[in-house]
């Protein structure tokens, strides 16, 4: 098996960043769960749903960055592979959210490069801290993402089945990633770290809805 150099990893990281940030660069591996559904929304409803989906799309950009950063610094090969597998599933979420934004005649957040950079740095730091903390970071991240998804599901117009099934599948996957990380040895993060993660998440949520 080929041993990748530091330069190889840097090039790969740059490629992953481009795929996460450039619209249309990421393709889903799984069938879009909303492909066969229809949703008729008013202008105001569509505007609100677009804001929610823009937040979810930014969340998936952050998830990609977190997993890429952790995979780069993870010490155990098994943990690195788990991060890479989770990132592949998150690619589906990224593509589905982007598809829904296009359907709503909207766009991804202009701040996504900022969120990607911050999340990549946090993921890399978690990997350096040790695999048990890296896995704990995944578990806490997915816990917070699930809370956001449930909140957004409650805000969707009743007739918006397209957005609903996408968010439901995303939530199912996030909870699976959380459980997998905990079962692999993830530990609870220190309270200050969880507080910082929550503050960053709230900032991203409030700004990405509009920008």
The Cα 116–Cα 120 span in angstroms is 6
Buried b (16+ CB within 10 A) or exposed e, 112-148: beebbebbbebbbbbbeebbebbbbbbbbbbbbbbeb
The Cα 77–Cα 187 span in angstroms is 19
Instruction: Tell whether 142 is in a known binding site.
Output: yes
Instruction: Tell whether 174 is in a known binding site.
Output: yes
Ramachandran assignment for 185, one of left (phi > 0), alpha (psi -120 to 50 degrees), beta (any other) = left
The Cα 34–Cα 91 span in angstroms is 16
The Cα 76–Cα 127 span in angstroms is 10
Instruction: Tell whether 93 is in a known binding site.
Output: yes
Instruction: Tell whether 57 is in a known binding site.
Output: no
Q: Binding site: residue ranges?
A: 60, 90, 93, 142, 174, 177
Q: Binding site for Fe cation: residue ranges?
A: 60, 90, 93, 142, 174, 177
């Amino acid at each position: 098996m080929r041993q990748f150099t530091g330069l190889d990893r840097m090039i790969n990281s740059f490629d992953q960043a481009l795929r996460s940030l450039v619209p249309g660069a990421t393709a889903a591996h799984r069938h879009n769960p909303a492909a066969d559904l229809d949703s008729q929304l008013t202008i105001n409803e569509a505007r609100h749903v677009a804001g929610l989906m823009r937040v979810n799309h930014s969340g998936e950009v952050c998830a990609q960055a977190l997993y890429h950063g952790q995979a780069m610094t993870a010490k155990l090969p098994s943990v690195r592979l788990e991060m890479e597998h989770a990132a592949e599933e998150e690619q589906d979420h990224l593509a589905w959210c982007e598809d829904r934004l296009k359907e709503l005649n909207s766009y991804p957040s202009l701040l996504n490069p900022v969120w990607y950079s911050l999340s990549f740095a946090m993921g890399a730091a978690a990997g350096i801290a040790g695999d048990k903390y890296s896995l704990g970071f995944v578990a806490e991240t997915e816990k917070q993402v699930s809370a956001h998804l449930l909140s957004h599901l409650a805000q969707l117009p009743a007739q918006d089945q397209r957005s609903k099934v996408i968010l439901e599948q995303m939530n199912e996957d996030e909870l699976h990633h959380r459980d997998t990380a905990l079962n692999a040895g993830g530990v609870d993060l220190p309270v200050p770290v969880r507080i910082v993660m929550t503050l960053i998440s709230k900032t991203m949520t409030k700004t990405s809805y509009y920008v």
